[in-house]
Amino acid sequence: MKGRVLKSTGSWYEVLIEGGQVLQARARGKLRLDDINETNPVAVGDWVDLQPEGNNAVISAILPRQNHMLRQSVKKKGQAHVLAANIDQVMLIATLKQPRTSLGFIDRFLVSAEAFRIPQVIIFNKRDLLTETELEEQTKLMQRYQTFGTRTLALQATHDDLLEVNEILENKVTLVAGHSGAGKSTLLNRLSDRIQQATSNISSFSNKGTHTTTFAEMFRLDEHSFVIDTPGVKEWGLVDMEPQELSDYFPEMRAVRTSCKFGARCIHFHEPGCAVIAAVENQQISLARYESYLSMLAGEDNRK
């Protein structure tokens, strides 16, 4: 029997099987994926083999993944935490204030998705809170990300029409992520009556959100459209990326890096004849994006 994991609470899983039935299942023994050091070997979105166990089931195997979205584990150094597997696109809910989503965080999220060539969408929420100057800043950010293929949209999740969001989600499995307080749960709740995620206000002390989503969970919008809600993420650490491959996950750098004098050996830092550095100097590549690249290259801890 085959099913797809909808929710993981650590030791038990909700698994959707053919016909729409949802079973409670546990993993058999110490189930692990070959050659992958993960804190959660069974992730939301995984296709799994099941064996009946009374009214419940046992996960006997994890089927090969098309892709997965992961970040460095906060609690276990050197291990990865898989947010979801087998997804069609990712959607980041970002805000310029209350709380502010840093450009470094956005770029690390996009790089993690681009490593598997997973299409990316950025929803800039809470536009109603922005001044004219901040709205101009947001528009420039949206244009920057659009230049290399990331779809962007600005809205007020509490009130705006969500027709365009629904169109983006149609017939796809979409992972939705963002800082706590960015409005992720508010947006999801408006998409379907099936989704009733808890929401909270921004702390007046820290100007940050508090965690309301505890576990990743997949929700069905219709027969062919699913969204995966994830716990609010404070920071985003990259996993297992070598310096020589990092620029491949910046689409605007990937487009020019083959022209570098030293070819694949160039890491676009100080090498003479570097096409990426030349593109930055010519404003073909955003300086802010290049600075994000350098911080990732150096392994700096600016993940927030």
Q: What is the pLDDT of residues 133-150, one digit of tens each?
A: 999 999 999 999 999 999
User: Is residue 42 included in any domain, yes or no?
Assistant: yes
Closest CA to 293 of 267, 270, 271: 267
Angle between helices 103-114 and 287-297 (to 10 degrees): 70
Provide the whole-model pTM. 0.87
CB 269 within 8 A of CB 297: yes
- Are 55 and 122 in the same domain? no
Contacts of 193 (CB under 8 A, 6+ apart): none
Contacts of 282 (CB under 8 A, 6+ apart): none
Share of the chain above pLDDT 90, in %: 67
- Are 147 and 220 in the same domain? yes
- Are 73 and 40 in the same domain? no
- The whole-number pLDDT of residue 209 equals 43
Tokens 């309301």 belong to 212
pLDDT greater at residue 37 or residue 184: 184
- The whole-number pLDDT of residue 234 equals 57
Secondary structure of the chain as H, E, C letters? CEEEEEEECCCEEEEEECCCCEEEEEECCCCCCCCCCECCCCCCCCEEEEEEECCEEEEEEECCCCCEEEEECCCCCCCEEEEEECCCEEEEEEECCCCCCCHHHHHHHHHHHHCCCCCEEEEEECHHHCCHHHHHHHHHHHHHHHCCCCEEEECCCCCCCCHHHHHHHCCCEEEEEECCCCCHHHHHHHHCCCCCCCCCCCCCCCCCCCCCCCCCEEEEEECCEEEEECCCCCCCCCCCCCHHHHHHHCHHHHCCHHHCCCHHHCCCCCCCCCHHHHHHHCCCCCHHHHHHHHHHHCCCCCCC
User: 280: which 2 tokens?
Assistant: 């930055």
- Are 221 and 267 in the same domain? no
- Are 127 and 254 in the same domain? no
Structural domain of residue 161, as residue ranges?
Answer: 68-229
Q: Is the pLDDT of residue 40 over 90?
A: no
pLDDT tens digits for range 174-198: 999 998 889 998 999 999 888 888 7
- Are 94 and 224 in the same domain? yes
User: Is residue 303 included in any domain, yes or no?
Assistant: no
Domain limit, last residue, from 197, 229, 261:
229
User: Is residue 235 included in any domain, yes or no?
Assistant: no
User: Is residue 236 included in any domain, yes or no?
Assistant: no
- Are 12 and 26 in the same domain? yes
Domain count for the chain, please give it: 3
Which of 73-82, 87-96, 108-117 is predicted least confidently?
73-82
Tokens 């073909």 belong to 284
pLDDT band at 201; cut points 50, 70, 90: low
pLDDT greater at residue 44 or residue 202: 44
- Are 11 and 49 in the same domain? yes
Q: Is the pLDDT of residue 123 over 60?
A: yes
Which of 112-121, 135-144, 226-235 is predicted least confidently?
226-235
pLDDT band at 264; cut points 50, 70, 90: confident
pLDDT band at 303; cut points 50, 70, 90: very low
Averaged pLDDT score across all residues of the chain? 87
pLDDT band at 212; cut points 50, 70, 90: very low
Segment 258-272 shows an average pLDDT of 93
Domain limit, last residue, from 12, 45, 62:
62
The CA-to-CA distance between both ends of the chain, in Å, stands at 41
Q: Is the pLDDT of residue 205 over 60?
A: no
- Are 91 and 208 in the same domain? yes
pLDDT greater at residue 208 or residue 70: 70
- The whole-number pLDDT of residue 27 equals 87
User: Is residue 304 included in any domain, yes or no?
Assistant: no
Q: Is the pLDDT of residue 203 over 70?
A: no
- The whole-number pLDDT of residue 133 equals 97
